[in-house]
Structure 1
Amino acid sequence: MEQGGFLLFLGLVTLALIVVIMPFLQPLLWAMLAAIMFQPLFRRFHERSGGRENQAAIATLLVITVAVILPALFIGSAIVDEAAGLIVAFQEGDINVAQWFAQVFGALPANVQASLNASGWGDLVALQERAQEFAQASLGLIARQAVSIGGSVFGFVLAFGIGLYVSFFLLRDGRKISAAVLHCLPFERPIADRLATGFTGIVRATIKGSVVVGLVQGALGTLTFWVVGIPSALLLGLVMAIASLLPAIGPAIVWGPAALYLLATGAIWQGVAVIVSGVALIGLADNILRPILVGRDTGIPDWLILITTLGGIALLGLSGIVVGPLVAGLFLAGWGILAEQRDRAPQP
């Protein structure tokens, strides 16, 4: 009873701690991810500073702030401005989706037009309503997120400060904290070590393979759209970065329709430039960068990565891009360890 009572106490106090830190769960999560990703940089600064941990952690935080946080805030504000401008343009009728569709529809072959008419996709009025509803809903989501952040500036600044503050200690004391956590886990030490290795490996592979590659593809798409003169290039680049999470088609669902519209409206060289960039640059970026950045297979099937990533985004927002595949990786690792133990167990 005493042992059971102590375990019950541990469970309750752990649950209470989770409830208390719940408002800052996402800043803590991103602080942990930053500490894992930039731990090699911290070690390099640590060696050059002669073993001064505080100075190495501060230098690493400065690099994170200058190279990651400030550009993200600047680009995010520009994307929000573009989204707000498009919402106003839709509401005031400056953007005529029906006219755009008519131009593209008229450039299609006659048999394709007949097939679209038979399936109901040739109704300009209905398509205009659907397209405008979808666009305003998508753009409105971005605008609402910006308003929610701006409406609670104190909360945003507080969460941002907590994230940086915790990152400092996780960078400086990460090894000690991880060793203490592994020692306290109610697992056999070899199992805990394997799970910890899988945890860090999946985090790094997910961020490098999904986030970094998506950002590169989005940046290439933004540059392409800016060169050919397509408006709201940053916003389309963001959509392309998110679409890169989808296997096979990925960013093509963004640059493909853009190229089709340019060709249908007579902008031949612009449309060809978008196609060439989409195939030769954006499309190959994933095949070239992912093996270099990830380095090895995470052991998670592509279809499971897609489902868990989309499910994680639906539950946690941007944090779900990492949390979803992380849960899938730990799930597969845990069941794999159980299967190995069962195979090694003596048969009756």
Structure 2
Amino acid sequence: MTAPNPLKTPDLEFKSLLFLVLAATALFLLIVWPFFGAVCWAVFIAIVFWPLHQRLLRGSQGRPNMAAAASLTIILLIVILPLALVTASITQEASLLVAKMRSGEVDFGAYFQRAMQALPAWIRAILERLGVGDLGVLQQRALASLGGNGQALTARAFSIGQVTLDFVVAFFVMLYILYFFFRDGGAIAQSIARSIPLRDDHTHRLLTHFVTVVRATVKGNIVVALVQGTLGGLAFLVLGVQGPLLWGAVMALFSLLPAVGAALVWAPVAAYFFFTGELVAAIGLALWGVVAIGLVDNFLRPRLVGRDTRMPDWLILVATLGGLVVFGLNGFVIGPVIAAVFLVSWQMLAAARQQDVAAPAAREPD
């Protein structure tokens, strides 16, 4: 009788396969990491627009290539092209504002000094101790850092071009991946579900929650950002603030932070109007910020984000902030997704433990 081969035991073979899978996965993540943002956004956009793609797939009589191309075209026309046009307008307005600052037409230092002079003496003393008593010096330093001499701009030209090239490459990689996610998304999802070493009900719950959180976070945060940025930009336009489109975009970006984001932009402007004696503008902007912009955050965000994710507001805020710190701009989606997976995984573990405890008790005789 032939002795069993110790290198062919099922346990050793399984451990070897597991080691191979983990090593290959680590190496794959290493080579994909430079395009991490592109892959993430391809996943996010595919999840958000998947219902639209399904309708296009039915309309194309089940031809996946045509449906994927149609979905990608619609996204380019209704999302990416308008975003590119708005970005170009914001860039132009930012350049114009910087030019006005250099020429002295816009002097934030003078505005700040006017507000400082309207403050009580004890507040001015505190601000001067903190080193923020003279914004004129800070403005001059900011202008110098924006490229006051040609040599600095020439030295930075290569790095700026490299960043632009990286963005363009990542953008087209994202579009390329997105096409295949639309075309093969169903098969990819089924393959992932089969590969996850969990019970079928746990796998279904985990993937369903992941999709729900991505859709709610992307749609909710982007809608809230657009609405708050538009409302803030309109208010600044009416009040004659320089660069209303630029400040509206900044407000939209800050509004990714729940509860406090947009106020970081409009509140200092309202305070400036108040301390410089423009009480009507100050009160009007404060009321607009609290009532209009604030209501968007207090009522629209929970209905678009919190209701579907079933996460408390404080956890969404902490997860968003942490995601932005760790992953950059991508973190406003990745942070809440990680928090949601954390919650649902612990809930599944607690439910499994309760079932294990209840099972022996049910088998005990009366």
Question: Into which bin does the TM-score normalised by the smaller protein fall?
Answer: 0.7 to 0.9
Match of 2:75 in 1: 64
Deviates more, 1:97-106 or 1:320-329: 97-106
Change in CA separation of 1:146 and 1:193 when aligned onto 2, cut-off 3 Å: farther
- Secondary structure of 1:346 counterpart: helix
Q: 1:126 aligns with which of 113, 118, 133?
A: 133
1:98–1:125 CA contact under 8 A, matched in 2: no
Residue of structure 1 in register with 2:338 after alignment: 327
Matched, 1:240 2:247: no
In 2, are the aligned partners of 1:228 and 1:273 still within 8 Å (CA)? no
- 2:241 match: 230
Match of 1:165 among 162, 169, 176: 176
Is contact 2:235–2:285 with CA below 8 Å preserved after alignment? yes
* Displacement after TM superposition at 1:119 (Å): 2.5
User: Could you tell me whether the CA contact under 8 Å between 1:245 and 1:306 is conserved in 2?
Assistant: no
Q: Residues 248-259 of structure 1 correspond to what in structure 2 (within 5 A)?
A: 248-259=259-270
**Counterpart residue number, 1:47:** 58
Aligned to 1:181: 192
Match of 1:342 in 2: 353
Letter of the 1:128 counterpart: L
Bigger mean CA offset, 336-345 vs 251-260: 251-260
* 3-state secondary structure, aligned to 1:71: helix
Deviation at 1:3, TM superposition (A): 1.7
> Contact 1:80/1:146 (CA < 8 Å) preserved in 2?
no
* One-letter identity of the residue aligned with 1:117: R
User: What percentage of aligned pairs have identical amino acids?
Assistant: 41
TM-score (norm 2): 0.81
Contact 1:57 1:171 in 2 (8 A): yes
Structure 2 counterpart of 1:22, which letter? Answer: W
- Amino acid aligned to 1:225: F
| Aligned equivalent of 1:73 | 84
2:320 is aligned to 309
* Distance 1:166-1:246 versus aligned 2 partners, 3 A rule: closer
- Secondary structure of the residue aligned to 1:126 is coil
Q: Secondary structure of the residue that 2:192 maps to in structure 1?
A: helix
Structure 1 unaligned blocks of 5 or more: none
* 1:220 paired residue among 231, 237, 245: 231
Structure 2 CA distance for aligned equivalents of residues 231 and 117 of structure 1: 26
CA drift of 1:179 comes to 0.9
Q: Determine whether 1:298 maps to 2:305.
A: no
Q: CA deviation at 1:134?
A: 9.6
CA-based RMSD of the aligned residues comes to: 3.2
Classify the secondary structure of the residue corresponding to 1:103.
Answer: helix
Determine the structure 1 residue equivalent to 2:124: 117
- Which letter maps to 1:119? I
Q: CA deviation at 1:166?
A: 1.2
What TM-score comes out, normalization by structure 1 length? 0.85
> What is the count of residue pairs matched by the alignment?
341
Structure 1 position 201 matched with structure 2 position 212: yes
Give the drift of 1:76. 2.0
Shift in Å, 1:198: 0.9
Query: What code does the residue aligned with 2:36 have?
Result: L
SS of match in other structure, 2:226: helix
Looking at structure 2, the residues matched to 125 and 294 of structure 1 have their Cα atoms a distance apart, in angstroms, of 38
> In the aligned structure 1, how far is the partner of 2:269 from the partner of 2:313?
27
Q: Deviation digits for residues 306-331 of structure 1, max 9, x if unmatched?
A: 22212222222211110111111111
Shift of 1:106: 4.2
Q: How does 1:260-279 map to 2 (within 5 A)?
A: 260-265=271-276, 267=278, 270-279=281-290
| Alignment-mate amino acid for residue 247 of structure 2 | L
Q: Distance in 2 between matches of 1:295 and 1:52?
A: 36
1:137: Cα distance to partner? 11
What is the CA distance between 1:334 and its match in structure 2?
0.9
The equivalent residue for 1:210 is: 221
Q: CA deviation at 1:335?
A: 1.3
